[in-house]
A = this chain, B = another copy of it.
Amino acid sequence: MFLLKLSIILIAAEFGGYVCRKLKQPTVLGQLIMGILIGPSLLGLVEPTETFAHLSELGVILLMFIAGLETDLNEMIESGKSSTLIALGGVAIPILLGVGASLLFGRTPIEGFFIGVILSATSVSITVETLREIDKLKTKQGITILGAAVIDDVIGIVLLSLVTGFIKPSATQGFLIVCVKIVAFFILAIVAGIVIIRLSKKLFGSKIISARVAIVGLVFCLLMSFVSEELGVAAITGAYVAGIILSATPFRNKVSQRTQELSYLLLTPIFFVVTGMKVDVTHLLDDWLFGVVLLVVAVIGKLLGCGVTARLSGFDKKESMQIGIGMIPRGEVALIVTDIGLRLNVVPSGVFAAIIFMILATTVVTPPILKNSFS
């Protein structure tokens, strides 16, 4: 049945994408919606089995790897300061608003802070795919969004370790260990980057690059993703960093071309459809009022937090808006934090539905708004 289910996923992705292109909407949107439609909670045609979960993981990793490959390392470094500022704004404001909204709904301060942390982490894959589709990934805004998303991911992890350490010191890794691991990852990445970039330029700078280098590049991406996950940083961050490193080597074009075929023909569509499939719509509106409030907080939090800091960093009004919109989607990271919160009893199980609603809504709402903001 695997072959049939895979066919259904690919047909759904292609059909959803086709309809959305006709409606001048981003392909991702159609793939997400088709995923929800064919998933277990509606039509039940396909369920996210182990294989599809792995293929989907591979899909998002390659998506971020390619985004990294298409990044200009120098531009990335240049935009480092504004990315950091934007990330900080995009963490602070959602947390403040999250705490406020939670207190209004009768939650304790600690619950509110946890919900704030959930609201703080951007899930950049939706934005990446939307920008790539309209060929705006390499704009200054695109690069800044990617940088900021990586940084706010890291801030999210640190905050998570802080809160959980505060609630249940025994259940979680110490704050210090988490920080050491993150620092270790970035030191490793920088050292690996310098060595690989220098060596490759020296050894292969003037040679014709064999197409086989794509496999080596792919393996490097997988290993970096694995290491980053082991060190507590998200796998997609590792993949993105791997892409950035290779973007400064002579292998860039060969690796990029060949992994793109792999990614866009098979794995990226699977990722977005499977992401849709995981949504359980039956309980989506169990706490719709709080869900809507969270959605508003999520949207305003990033628009304000990232938009204003972008404006302060020298972007014009329109660009700042685009950056704010690009940072809206929440996804895996929010889910992971929620899951930890449930186990620590800081996130009441009723709130779960509201959070899922918020994640789904930010995911579905961003692609069309983002595309529109660029036209």
Is A215 touching B265 in the complex (CB atoms < 8 A)? Answer: yes
Please tell me if A70 contacts chain B, counting CB pairs below 8 Å. no
Binds B, one of A49-57, A85-93, A150-158: A49-57
Is B261 touching A222 in the complex (CB atoms < 8 A)? Answer: no
For A258, the chain B residues whose CB sits under 8 A away are 261, 265
Copies of this chain present in the complex amount to 2
Contact string, A297-330, partner B, CB cutoff 8 A, digits 1/0?
A: 0000000000000000000000000000000000
The verdict on A219 contacting B54 (CB below 8 Å), with A214-B265, A266-B262 known, is: no
Interface size, A (range): 35 or more
Is B3 touching A218 in the complex (CB atoms < 8 A)? Answer: no
Is B265 touching A14 in the complex (CB atoms < 8 A)? Answer: no
Kindly identify which residue among B14, B54, B218 contacts A212, using a CB–CB cutoff of 8 Å. B14
Q: How far is the CB of A256 from chain B (nearest CB, A)?
A: 12
Please tell me if A61 contacts chain B, counting CB pairs below 8 Å. yes
Please tell me if A259 contacts chain B, counting CB pairs below 8 Å. yes
Q: In the complex, which residues 3-23 of chain A have their Cβ closer than 8 Å to any Cβ of chain B?
A: 3-4, 6-7, 10-11, 13-14
For A262, the chain B residues whose CB sits under 8 A away are 261-262, 265-266
Q: How far is the CB of A329 from chain B (nearest CB, A)?
A: 23
Is A223 touching B51 in the complex (CB atoms < 8 A)? Answer: no
For A288, the chain B residues whose CB sits under 8 A away are none
The chain B residue sitting closest to A6, CB to CB, is B222
Is A61 touching B3 in the complex (CB atoms < 8 A)? Answer: yes
Kindly identify which residue among B3, B10, B54 contacts A225, using a CB–CB cutoff of 8 Å. B3
Q: In the complex, which residues 27-77 of chain A have their Cβ closer than 8 Å to any Cβ of chain B?
A: 49-51, 54-55, 57-58, 61
Contact string, A222-238, partner B, CB cutoff 8 A, digits 1/0?
A: 11011001000001000
For A4, the chain B residues whose CB sits under 8 A away are 222-223, 226
Q: Which of A57, A61, A223 has the most CB of B within 10 A?
A: A223
Q: In the complex, which residues 241-292 of chain A have their Cβ closer than 8 Å to any Cβ of chain B?
A: 258-259, 261-262, 265-266, 269
Bound Cα distance A98, B124 (Å): 61
Q: Which of A3, A50, A214 has the most CB of B within 10 A?
A: A3
Bound Cα distance A325, B219 (Å): 35
Kindly identify which residue among B10, B57, B218, B225 contacts A219, using a CB–CB cutoff of 8 Å. B10
Bound Cα distance A223, B266 (Å): 15
Is A219 touching B11 in the complex (CB atoms < 8 A)? Answer: yes
For A61, the chain B residues whose CB sits under 8 A away are 3
The chain B residue sitting closest to A7, CB to CB, is B222
Could you write out 15 A-B pairs with CB less than 8 Å apart?
A: A2-B54, A2-B57, A3-B61, A3-B222, A3-B225, A3-B229, A6-B222, A7-B223, A10-B219, A10-B222, A50-B50, A214-B265, A215-B265, A261-B261, A262-B266
Give the interface of A toward B (CB within 8 A): 1-4, 6-7, 10-11, 13-14, 49-51, 54-55, 57-58, 61, 212, 214-216, 218-219, 222-223, 225-226, 229, 235, 258-259, 261-262, 265-266, 269
